[in-house]
């Protein structure tokens, strides 16, 4: 069997002296693993760095075999990922989230979104909103999507500022005010055009609190996963940089 595709490198691990097991998120074949002969050599290792977009050929005798990859770099982000702590944390977090998806199941929107985020590495002002949207996408792809289209209580599309932690649906200011202390905050950027734009750090923090609640409840806790620490460090680093940027701008 053989197929060709594009992929985003998630990780590599050594296999023997010179080979490597490559983990990628592909456009058409989902999250996939395969053996790269000589993957730890000085010639091939640079192409297999997390965050890189690569052209892939996968071959195996049977469909359920591990198979072998050959990979060529289409776009390298390794220079930034290996020198910037926030970029490395971002790529690592993307990989952790994509490992929640079943292996070899196509998730086209996830691949496109993750690859787009990797093109924004280093643009701190844009990173918060796009990561929050990516976490919402992972929830949706796994059947736990939030409904932010209208108020769960009144059906209105206006003045949506809360999300119910019970139903995962938006709630208007008027309907949610009596229970405001129990509600999750809905940052306005999630109701606007999804194109990347900078947001105040308090809105980004609210966005991560929203997605984090549902990630923990639906995905991390039921699977016994401890991703919270690494995610918290990423968010703290990102918010710190956003606040420093805001202070310099004033």
Q: What are phi and psi of 216, to 5 degrees?
A: -65, -45
Strands of 184-185's sheet, edge to edge? 170-172, 160-163, 184-185
Per DSSP, 86 falls in state H
Query: Quick one: pLDDT at residue 217?
Result: 95
pLDDT tens series, the chain, 250 aa: 999 999 999 999 999 999 999 999 999 999 999 999 999 999 999 999 999 999 999 999 998 899 999 999 999 999 999 999 999 999 999 999 999 999 999 999 999 999 999 999 999 999 999 999 999 999 999 999 999 999 999 999 999 999 999 999 999 999 999 999 999 999 999 998 888 888 889 999 999 999 999 999 999 999 988 766 899 999 999 999 999 887 777 6
Whether residue 49 contacts residue 76, with contact meaning beta carbons closer than 8 Å, is answered with yes
Query: Quick one: pLDDT at residue 250?
Result: 66
Side-chain-side CA neighbours of 230 within 13 Å: the count stands at 15
CA 64 to chain centre: 27
Q: What is the pTM of this model?
A: 0.94
Q: Enumerate long-range contacts of 237-242, CB under 8 Å, 24 or more apart.
A: 237/85, 237/86, 237/89, 238/86, 238/124, 238/127, 238/128, 238/131, 238/204, 239/128, 239/201, 239/204, 239/205, 241/86, 241/124, 242/124, 242/125, 242/128, 242/200, 242/201, 242/204
Q: Which domains does the chain have, with CATH numbers?
A: 2-77 (2.40.50.140), 85-249 (1.20.1440.120)
């Amino acid at each position: 069997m053989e197929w060709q595709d594009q992929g985003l490198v998630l990780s590599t691990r050594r296999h023997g002296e010179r080979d490597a097991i490559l983990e990628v998120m592909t456009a058409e074949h989902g999250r996939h693993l395969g053996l790269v002969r000589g993957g730890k050599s000085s010639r091939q290792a640079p192409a297999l760095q997390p965050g890189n977009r690569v052209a892939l050929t996968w071959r195996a005798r049977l469909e359920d075999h591990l198979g072998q990859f050959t990979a060529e770099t289409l776009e390298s982000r390794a220079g930034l990922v290996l020198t910037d702590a926030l970029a490395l944390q971002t790529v690592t977090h993307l990989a952790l989230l994509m490992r929640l998806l079943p292996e070899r199941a196509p998730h086209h929107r996830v691949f496109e979104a993750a690859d787009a985020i990797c093109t924004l590495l280093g643009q701190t002002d844009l990173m918060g909103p796009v990561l929050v949207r990516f976490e919402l996408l992972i929830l949706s792809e796994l059947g736990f999507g939030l409904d932010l289209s209208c108020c769960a209580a009144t059906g209105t599309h206006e003045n949506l500022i809360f999300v119910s932690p019970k139903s995962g649906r938006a709630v208007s200011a008027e309907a949610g005010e009596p229970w405001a202390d129990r509600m999750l905050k809905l940052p306005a950027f999630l109701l606007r055009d999804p194109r990347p734009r900078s947001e105040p750090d308090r809105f980004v923090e609210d966005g991560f609190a929203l997605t984090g609640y549902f990630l923990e409840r639906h995905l991390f806790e039921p699977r016994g996963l401890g991703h919270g620490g690494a995610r918290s460090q990423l968010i703290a680093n990102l918010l710190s940089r956003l606040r420093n940027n805001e202070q310099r701008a004033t």
